[in-house]
Amino acid sequence: MFKRQTTQVIAHRGSKGTRPENTLLAFQAALDAGADGIETDVQLSRDGQMVIMHDEKVDRTTNGSGLIKDLTLAQLKQLDAGSHFGREFAGTKMPTLDEVIQLLIADHFSGVFNLELKTNKIPYPGIEQQLATYFTQQPVPFRLVFSSFRAQSLVTLRKLYPQAEYAKLFKTAGRQAKQMERHQQVAGLHPDIRWVKAHRFWLPHMQLRPWTVNSPADMAYCFRRHFAGIITDYPARAVALREKIQGSERV
């Protein structure tokens, strides 16, 4: 009898709903919540260091201002990346990619690490080569998935580092994503959950990981359809609901 897949819970920028996003605190909280995966974003500082932040500017999530690409790592490390979320998180620092990887290795993480290349607005020339070099020199004991809204970044990195998995992010551009999957340039699709519900009659369930799935109703929608994964700000909430919905099927 065919066994339906268990939907993986992937923590969006860590446990973004309960901790300052894309910080070591957020990633640790996601691990403690039992998340199957971590999703995060990589960009380059002015001095070419791989740093973890979603926005191209530091304004929203730190006490600083300006573009990441215009600030050195030393300047970025001076910023407070926690106070915007709550006073108790004051002094939290923006991490480098390597600091996140070392946290996961120390935690014996063996799930999915989904790294988004934030190259759709600022191309960050050479970031694909840097990532390929880094992961060649730093083997990881977990499943590595690269995603991006920018198709060319995925095509470029896949040639340099074919041993990872690749997934196309999209809000509405489903046609391009489906073409990339058809041409085996990506193995997974990461669509906006709103697109998923609007296209419910066309759903390649096996490697579909919608974002950002936060409401109990949206979580239940995905769990009942056994999507490959969901990307959520609330991993603890999602893990508990998955057990109620998919756990009851293991009778």
- Fill in the DSSP letter of residue 201: T
Q: What does the pLDDT look like over 186-220, one tens digit per residue?
A: 999 999 999 999 987 766 555 899 999 999 999 99
pLDDT score at 250: 52
Q: Which residue has the tokens 């973004």?
A: 16
Measured CA distances, 230 to 25, 72, 172, 211, 223 (Å): 21, 34, 17, 6, 9
CATH class of the domain whose range is 8-249: alpha beta
Please, are residues 77 and 1 in contact by the beta-carbon 8 Å criterion?
A: no
Q: Give the domain ranges of the chain.
A: 8-249
Task: Tell me the C-alpha distance between 52 and 98, whole Å.
Answer: 9
CB burial class (10 A; 0-12, 13-18, 19+) of residue 47? exposed
Catalytic residue positions, numbered: 12, 54
pLDDT-derived band at 2, boundaries 50, 70, 90 = very low
Q: Which two tokens stand for residue 13?
A: 């920028």
Please, are residues 21 and 53 in contact by the beta-carbon 8 Å criterion?
A: no
Distance of alpha carbon 26 from the chain centroid: 12
pTM: 0.96
Task: Tell me the C-alpha distance between 195 and 137, whole Å.
Answer: 38
Q: What does the pLDDT look like over 58-102, one tens digit per residue?
A: 999 999 999 999 999 999 999 999 999 999 999 999 999 999 999
CA angle (130 as vertex; 62, 230 as ends), nearest 5: 60
Decide which of 123 and 3 is more confident. 123
Please, are residues 38 and 28 in contact by the beta-carbon 8 Å criterion?
A: no
CA angle (25 as vertex; 21, 31 as ends), nearest 5: 100
pLDDT score at 3: 60
Longest dimension (CA), the chain: 57
Q: What does the pLDDT look like over 12-58, one tens digit per residue?
A: 999 999 999 999 999 999 999 999 999 999 999 999 999 999 999 99
Q: What does the pLDDT look like over 125-177, one tens digit per residue?
A: 999 999 999 999 999 999 999 999 999 999 999 999 999 999 999 999 888 99
CB burial class (10 A; 0-12, 13-18, 19+) of residue 80? middle
Whole-number CA gyration radius for the chain: 18
Q: Which residue has the tokens 């095509």?
A: 155
Q: What are residue 18's phi and psi, to 5 degrees?
A: -125, -5
**Residue type for 161, please?**
Y
Q: DSSP per residue over 72-114, as a string?
A: -HHHHHTS-SSTTT-GGGTTPPPPBHHHHHHHHHHTT--SEEE
Q: Which of 191, 230, 249 is nearest to 35 (CA)?
A: 230
